[in-house]
């Protein structure tokens, strides 16, 4: 059971947990079009709370909205600031944050271009997603009878609400069969991902994960692990993996914001390697936890520290001002987005300079050499699939006036100062 906390952020206001309700005709409840994210905030060894990779998560939330042709009235900086402030208002030093952008009630039917788009953020305490033992000992997984959506059936790069019926069915099947988690294959039969995690295998010291061109979510933890592996000198390849290659791998693990780095010790009743977490998995798991929880400060750009941000909202003692609603809710944009951003390289089908391409996999990948320090053969170019900065909003445009409406006055000046920014604490803080 989720333990309720004091406040939920809803459309620019902090409202009591019990008052955060939606109408039964909420469009997303019926048809599933909407975006969501899952973000963790950790209390680190030095006592500071860090929201891990907040900007990347909010960028993916907005990318998902873009894929869905829905437009929240808040900009990235505003949603990030709201995440920070929500933790403050709830006195939380550790949390799982769940931003949502959904289509509210209004018209019914499939085509509802004028229904309001609502944005909310909920925070709660969430321990190890697959259990503490899972992180330590590894889990038992089952290849699902359900397949991941074909890339022309749904939008795999979006974290879209309705797409998760596929994950829920796979997870239920796995749990009812006595397993901990499902592994879904794609419609061509290659390994795709877990119900809510990306998947990695290790073969002869080489780390292998399915490519972003497949039907997988572009996991932020996946990208984090690829970066860390490169730094550790572990060879990395993004290639298709077949079911038998998975069975014969030396190690396997899941990554995800919720699942963190969870070893897989068994797939379909076949032990993976020695049937316990292997050395590469443990090395990367350790490095991950050192960064999110301990004192590894090698990636300051991944942290948003709570105390580093000035609060634009009034103190908890006074209620947040009620934001005046615009006279009429703006229609969801249909047709091309107003400010198209260049797609990340990986989506645009281009390879970055110097990036080796290994589409479809190559027979040689199972003969990959053992990791040598500094001898990374990663195919992931630095900067590939990094979140794109939000587009500059032209002054006087409809969007900027919406922003003005939705942002408390004190927030606007503070937001300018945030500038995605003060990742490191001010001196003496």
Ligand X SMILES: Cc1ncc(COP(=O)(O)O)c(C=O)c1O
> Which residues in this chain contact ligand X in the complex, by CB under 6 A?
38, 159, 167, 193, 196-198, 217, 219-222, 255-257
> Dihedrals φ, ψ of 263, to 5°?
-65, 150
94 and 49 in contact (C-beta within 8 Å)? yes
- Tell me the closest approach of the beta carbon of residue 60 to ligand X, in angstroms: 7
CA angle, 410 then 413 then 417, to 5°: 130
Comparing CB distances to ligand X, the nearer of 76 and 407 is 76
Comparing CB distances to ligand X, the nearer of 182 and 267 is 182
* Residue 269 CB contacts under 8 Å (≥ 6 apart), including other chains: none
From first CA to last CA, the distance across the chain in angstroms is: 35
Comparing CB distances to ligand X, the nearer of 7 and 148 is 148
- Tell me the closest approach of the beta carbon of residue 116 to ligand X, in angstroms: 26
- Tell me the closest approach of the beta carbon of residue 136 to ligand X, in angstroms: 20
Comparing CB distances to ligand X, the nearer of 13 and 231 is 231
- Tell me the closest approach of the beta carbon of residue 363 to ligand X, in angstroms: 27
Comparing CB distances to ligand X, the nearer of 196 and 278 is 196
Choosing from 159, 171, 203, 402, the catalytic residue is 159
Active site residue 402: no
> Dihedrals φ, ψ of 345, to 5°?
-50, -45
312 and 393 in contact (C-beta within 8 Å)? no
3-class secondary structure, 14: strand
Q: What is the DSSP letter of 406?
A: H
254 and 194 in contact (C-beta within 8 Å)? yes
- Tell me the closest approach of the beta carbon of residue 174 to ligand X, in angstroms: 14
- Tell me the closest approach of the beta carbon of residue 357 to ligand X, in angstroms: 23
Comparing CB distances to ligand X, the nearer of 60 and 88 is 60
Query: From CA 92, how far away is CA 123, in angstroms rounded?
Result: 9
* Residue 417 CB contacts under 8 Å (≥ 6 apart), including other chains: 310
219 and 39 in contact (C-beta within 8 Å)? no
Comparing CB distances to ligand X, the nearer of 198 and 285 is 198
Pair of tokens at residue 272: 């993976």
Query: Side-chain half-sphere of 335: how many Cα atoms within 13 Å?
Result: 2
Residue 198 β-bridge partners: 255
Comparing CB distances to ligand X, the nearer of 197 and 266 is 197
- Tell me the closest approach of the beta carbon of residue 423 to ligand X, in angstroms: 19
- The count of other CB atoms within 10 Å of the CB of residue 145 is 13
- The count of other CB atoms within 10 Å of the CB of residue 269 is 10
- B/e letters for 45-73, b = 16+ CB within 10 Å, e = fewer, are eeebbbbbbbbbbbbbbbbbbbbbebbbb
Distances (CA, A) of 76 to 24, 40, 240: 28, 17, 33
- Tell me the closest approach of the beta carbon of residue 267 to ligand X, in angstroms: 17
Q: Where are the beta strands (DSSP E) in 225-300?
A: 236-238, 251-256, 260-267, 270-271
Q: What are the catalytic residues? A: 159
């Amino acid at each position: 059971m989720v333990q309720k906390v004091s406040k939920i952020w809803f459309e620019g206001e902090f409202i009591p947990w019990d008052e955060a309700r939606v109408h039964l005709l909420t469009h997303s409840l019926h048809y599933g079009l909407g975006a969501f994210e899952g973000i963790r905030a950790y209390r680190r060894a030095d006592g500071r709370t860090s929201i891990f990779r907040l900007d990347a998560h909010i960028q993916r939330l907005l990318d998902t909205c873009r894929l869905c042709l829905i437009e929240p009235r808040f900009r990235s900086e505003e949603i990030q600031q709201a995440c920070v402030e929500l933790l403050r208002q709830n006195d939380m030093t550790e949390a799982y944050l769940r931003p949502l952008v959904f289509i509210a009630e209004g018209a019914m039917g499939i085509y509802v271009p004028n229904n309001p788009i609502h944005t909310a953020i909920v925070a709660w305490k969430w321990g190890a997603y697959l259990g503490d033992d899972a992180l330590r000992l590894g889990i038992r997984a089952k290849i699902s009878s359900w397949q991941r959506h074909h890339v022309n059936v749904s939008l795999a790069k979006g974290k879209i609400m309705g797409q998760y019926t596929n994950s829920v069915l796979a997870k239920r099947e796995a749990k009812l069969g006595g397993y901990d988690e499902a592994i879904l294959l794609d419609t061509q039969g290659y390994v795709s991902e877990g119900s809510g995690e990306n998947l990695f295998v290790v073969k002869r010291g080489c780390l292998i994960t399915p490519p972003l061109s497949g039907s997988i979510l572009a996991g932020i933890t996946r990208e984090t692990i690829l970066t860390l592996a490169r730094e550790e000198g572990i060879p990395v390849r993004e290639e298709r993996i077949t079911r038998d290659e998975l069975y014969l791998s030396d190690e396997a693990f899941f990554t995800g914001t919720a699942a963190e780095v969870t070893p897989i010790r068994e797939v379909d009743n076949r032990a993976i390697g020695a049937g316990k977490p292997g050395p590469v998995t443990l090395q990367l798991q350790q490095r991950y936890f050192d960064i999110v929880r301990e004192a590894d400060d090698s990636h300051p750009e991944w942290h948003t520290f709570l105390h580093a941000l000035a609060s634009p909202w009034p103190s908890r003692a006074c209620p947040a001002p009620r934001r005046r609603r615009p006279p009429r809710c703006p229609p969801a944009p249909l047709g091309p987005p107003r400010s198209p951003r260049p797609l990340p390289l990986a989506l645009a089908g281009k390879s970055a300079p110097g990036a080796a391409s290994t589409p479809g996999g190559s027979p040689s990948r199972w003969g990959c050499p053992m990791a040598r320090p500094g001898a990374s053969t990663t195919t992931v170019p630095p900067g590939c699939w990094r979140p794109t900065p939000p587009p500059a909003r032209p002054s006087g445009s409809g969007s900027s006036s919406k922003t003005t409406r939705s942002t408390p006055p004190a927030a606007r000046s503070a937001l300018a100062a945030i500038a995605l920014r003060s990742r490191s604490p001010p001196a003496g803080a």
